[in-house]
Chain A
Amino acid sequence: MKNFKKSVALVAALILTASTLAACDTAEKEDGTTAATEPGATPTTAAPTGEALTVEQGKVLNIYVWNDEVEQRLEQFYLTDGEAPVVDGVAKKDDITINFLKTPNEGLAYQDKLDQVLPGNADKAADERADMFAFEADYALKYVNTDFTMDIGSLGLTDADFAGQYKYTQQIATDDNGLIKAVSWQANPCGLIYRRSIATDVLGSDDLDTVQAAVADWTKYAETAAKMGEKGYAMESAYGSSFRQFSNNAQKAIVVDGVISVPDEWKQWAEQTKTFADNGWNLKSDGMWSGASTAGYKKDGKVFCYAGPAWLFNFTMLPNAMDDPDAGAVAGNGSVGDWGIVAGPAPSYWGGTWLAAATGTDNGEIIKDIMLKLCADKEVAKKLATTNGVEDYANNIAGMQEVAASDFQSVFFGGQNQFQILAPLAEKIDVSKTLSPYGQLAETFQNTMLGYFEGTVSYDEALNNFYSEALTRYPELTQG
């Protein structure tokens, strides 16, 4: 017993001295070690950038996204052949784990996340690096014109691989040196998606020609809006409903040579929307995704039209339009089948999701494979377009022309082939005048106009608020 006690005391004493010594050790070393470890650390961290795209491929593919869209598309059109489905944002492809890392888009949160993650990406541990990330048209140039995105050439792809795509989707993702930095599997021409039953009630018919004639230009559009208001319907679901139909046709970008100046077309949108709001022709909701706006998708919805591209009706409207989600997209399930699509008063495009490889990725091979299969394969494109419940407008000119000419019938559109309307619109899209890395000022503009629509401030005051808010966000700019 005595011996035991002694040995315990001895062990305890040893541990104590050891720990104090260790503590002294680190304390003394503090100055020396920082200098000593850093040079040693540099080669290991620098290595991945040098040997990007060698045979050594990482086992973890981190994809930064803002919603489920990329996840769903990859699950259905890339991870085919019964490969592990996506569970809680994680999927498996062969021996590679795919993580979908989500940050919501609101209030620049997603961009803030990217801005944190991308600088120094190459220096992180291989499995923690961002390998791929998605972005939208509004702020594409912000990322395209940086070294944080790899051009497709350094992934081993050529422009010829994507020759079949709509040119505008490439323009958006082309940097100042003319290199394509990201690719998309979709093109996003907007049609005017209208409610057939409301068209019949108000316009007397739901056929395409009658409806198109009623919304052929902004004057006719306003006349129709008045008729909708009289009958107890709303023409638009939100203040921002028709913003893109104006802004996409602007003659200049919001920022030119570091000077912010609101294009006339933006002002026209504000004036029209104010008229609609004052007359009660629209739902006074501050966003397309507000409850009031999306309630219009439902069977008892009172909204006549939504301007939007394929992802609006397949990704947003359809799931909300169905009364019984389990029954799927069948006519009569909620408002499914009660919709039609026409060209509307002005051509526009909206959003779209681009996929870029992040500089420093160790998964070049699978990224290349995803880009080729999802964004350049004509058969996949046709499948994307014709799968019920998906019906993406795929980024493949020939493929979409074939679908437009086919006898494809959309269940959502009550048997209409929406590609006949959208295909000619897609070829007209021209982004060269309006493209700007400050595209997200459009959101700021719509927010600051809220006071004008609600009658709190005049247009000029609201405009001043926009400029001062824009300059707060981007102090490097000046007001024109």
Chain B
Amino acid sequence: MATLRRRTVSYSKWGYFFIAPFFIVYALASFYPLASTFYFSFFKKLVKFGQDMGPTTFVGLQNFIDIFTPNPNGVIEVGKYAGNTFIIWIIGFIPQIIVSLLLASWFTDLRLRLKATGFFKVVIYLPNVIMAAAISFLFSSLFADTGPINQIMAAAQGADNFQIQIATGEVGFRFFASIPAARIIIAGINFLMWFGNTTIMLMAAIHGIDPTLYEASAIDGANATQIFWRITMPLIRPILLFVLVTSLIGGLQMFDIPNVLFQNGSGGVNATSRTLIMFLNQQMQGTRNYGRGGALSIVLFIIGGGLSMMVFYLMRDKDVAEERKRRKKSKGAKLL
């Protein structure tokens, strides 16, 4: 036995060797910037032309205080942009989850036996393949004051002097001058890009449900609505949670669509469609403000983390949690 053991070659250290490239790249490309973001959030550091403007000085929490200081209009900008982001996200997410659930349950319904689901799965996923900036540019042309949508509306309204009548508001609708319309367009693009993705994830979740449950319920006389609410919904809750959390984090990072939709990242009328990341991007335009940019990133990190935790807590499986609690108690009792 002893001789055998000596002859065994340990390959375990090669494991470290093979995973090392990832950790090296991660440390350099991800961890270092992450750590420096935290670090610089406590400093005043302005950079122009890649060169520091003045010394980097420790300012404690000043950058965070700056972020939450109301501007002369009495508006806390980070709050305003967080609000914009949330409103645009929720306008897009509600139809997204409803349509995705509907499509997923239809596509997986054993009784409907839809044909060519493969084809439609590809079709609904396709918008996600297009670059967000491109689709955004497309919509900005479509809904522009003189764009095709307005031309159709004006023609239907019998406009005889289209260019002027659109400006005076006699015909058509100036979508990007309207705060709700602009937000709905951004949310609509988000919806269009992501509902296919969500549908496919929910379908995978539904496929994971034991088919005997459906058969049994059908035999017991449950109708489609009952099956959906009593069997499908409870059993795909973990995936729903996952979809919600990823969409929330994705929504928090919303940037390219609204940034391209309006000229110069202006965020539309009175910046009502400017998102948090667009605001973060502004810190790095002109003079690069590493301190405040870092502080804002940390605020975003906390918001993202907090929202995820909250959703996770709300959607947890209560039975399992109680079971765990009970077990803990009984374990404690045994120990006593």
Contacts and interface: CB of A to CB of B under 8 A. Distances in A.
Interface residues of A, number: 52
Given A280-B168, A284-B167, A474-B287, A451 B270 contact: yes
B163 A286 contact: no
Interface stretch (A61-69, A372-380, A397-405, A465-473): A465-473
A443 B265 CA distance: 11
Nearest to A440: B286
B77 A290 contact: no
Given A118-B49, A468-B72, A284 B177 contact: yes
B10 interface: no
Nearest to B288: A115
Contact of A292 (B17, B72, B163, B259): B163
Interface in A104-118: 106-108, 112, 115-116, 118
Contact of A232 (B161, B174, B269, B289): B161
Nearest to B165: A232
Contacts, number: 128
B3 interface: no
Contacts of B147: 291
A315 to B, nearest CB: 19
A146 B49 contact: yes
B264 A472 contact: no
Given A118-B49, A291-B147, A283 B287 contact: no
Contact of A295 (B163, B263, B286): B163
Interface in A449-477: 450-451, 454, 456-457, 461-462, 464-465, 467-469, 472-476
A287 interface: yes
A204 interface: no
Interface string B62-100: 000000000111000100000000000000000000000
Interface string A296-309: 10001111000000
B153 to A, nearest CB: 14
A468 B77 contact: yes
A424 interface: no
B212 interface: no
B217 interface: no
B259 to A, nearest CB: 8
Contacts of A354: none
B145 A292 contact: yes
B49 A148 contact: yes
Given A232-B164, A291-B141, A292-B167, A108 B266 contact: no
Nearest to B69: A468
B183 interface: no
Contact of B289 (A107, A108, A146, A475): A475
A119 B50 CA distance: 7
Contacts of A295: 146, 163
Contacts of A467: 71-72
A233 interface: yes
A467 B72 CA distance: 9
A189 to B, nearest CB: 26
A120 interface: yes
Interface string B275-293: 0000100110111010010
A385 interface: no
Interface string B255-269: 000010011111011
Contact of A473 (B141, B176, B259, B286): B286
A478 interface: no
Interface in B135-181: 141, 144-147, 161, 163-164, 166-168, 174, 176-177, 179
A302 B163 contact: yes
A76 interface: no
Contacts of B163: 234, 283, 292, 295-296, 300-303
Given A468-B72, A473-B286, A447 B164 contact: no
A452 B50 CA distance: 36
A292 B144 contact: yes
Contact of A115 (B49, B269, B272): B49
A292 B46 contact: no
A390 B51 CA distance: 40
B161 A302 contact: yes
Contacts of B28: none
Nearest to A289: B263
A157 B287 CA distance: 33
Given A120-B50, A476-B287, A107 B265 contact: yes
B271 interface: yes
B270 A457 contact: yes
A197 interface: no
B287 A234 contact: no
A232 B161 CA distance: 7
B53 interface: yes
Contacts of B144: 290-292
Contacts of A234: 163-164, 167
A295 B268 CA distance: 21
B148 to A, nearest CB: 10
Interface in A86-117: 106-108, 112, 115-116
A296 B270 CA distance: 26
A454 B177 contact: yes
A388 to B, nearest CB: 28
A282 interface: yes
A171 interface: no
Nearest to A118: B49
A465 B270 contact: yes
Interface in B16-53: 17, 46, 48-51, 53
A118 B282 CA distance: 21
B164 A302 contact: yes
B71 A464 contact: yes
B142 to A, nearest CB: 11
- Among B53, B71, B141, B164, chain A packs the most CB atoms within 10 A around the CB of B164
A465 B71 contact: yes
Contact of B51 (A119, A451, A462, A476): A119
A285 interface: yes
Contacts of B271: 448, 451, 465, 469
A475 B292 contact: yes
A373 B261 CA distance: 41
- Among B141, B177, B259, chain A packs the most CB atoms within 10 A around the CB of B177
B269 A450 contact: yes
Given A291-B146, A292-B166, A302-B163, A464 B72 contact: yes
Contacts of B266: 286, 447-448, 450
A120 B77 CA distance: 36
A280 B166 CA distance: 10
Interface in A23-49: 23
A263 B277 CA distance: 31
5 contacts: A116-B50, A290-B144, A450-B270, A464-B71, A464-B73
Which 7 pairs of residues, A with B, have the shortest CB-CB distance?
A: A451-B270, A473-B286, A119-B50, A464-B72, A280-B168, A468-B71, A447-B266
Given A292-B145, A465-B270, 20 more contacts: A107-B263, A107-B265, A280-B164, A283-B163, A291-B141, A291-B145, A302-B164, A440-B286, A447-B263, A448-B271, A451-B271, A454-B177, A454-B270, A457-B270, A461-B73, A462-B270, A465-B271, A468-B77, A469-B282, A476-B46
